[in-house]
Amino acid sequence: MKKVKLPDTIDVSYHTLKVKLLEPQVALEVGDQQGSYDARGQTIFLDRAIIEEGGARACSLLLHETYHCCWYVFNLDKAEEERAVDSFANFTTELLRRNHQLRDWINENVCA
């Protein structure tokens, strides 16, 4: 069975996010992180080793960074809890509905 490739872009609202994989030493030494979201450049950066390893950890990292996008796009920094939770639920629904390759990649990695 052919593995599903992580998509190069993810559509969110009116944004198209670029997905860029970083070498682990770059992610750790430069940013001391496993991933990051660049709002200005509309780019998600992810640690290549974690993504290539796959599994739940890779999915969690990817979703974590997309949720930073949600926080930014829906201007949630001053939101009360119910509005923030509703926004994250709507964001996740849209993310999975509009991005079939991403949904298949998540399904393959979480359910493997």
Q: Where are the domains of the chain?
A: 9-110
Q: What is the pLDDT of residue 112?
A: 62
Report d(CA 67, CA 23) in Å as an integer. 22
- Nearest residue to 46 (alpha-carbon basis) of 19, 17, 12, 6: 19
CATH architecture of the domain with range 9-110: 2-Layer Sandwich (3.30)
Residue partners of 95: CB distance under 8 A and separation at least 6: 10, 12, 66, 102
Q: What is the mean pLDDT of the chain?
A: 91
What percentage of the chain exceeds 70 in pLDDT?
Answer: 93
Q: Over 90: is that where the pLDDT of 31 sits?
A: no
Q: What is the pLDDT of residue 3?
A: 85
Q: What is the pLDDT of residue 33?
A: 79
Q: What is the pLDDT of residue 97?
A: 95
Report d(CA 40, CA 68) in Å as an integer. 13
Q: Over 80: is that where the pLDDT of 92 sits?
A: yes
- Nearest residue to 40 (alpha-carbon basis) of 72, 71, 11: 72
Q: Over 70: is that where the pLDDT of 1 sits?
A: no
- Per the document, the length of the chain is 112
pLDDT tens, 50-65? 999 999 999 999 999 9
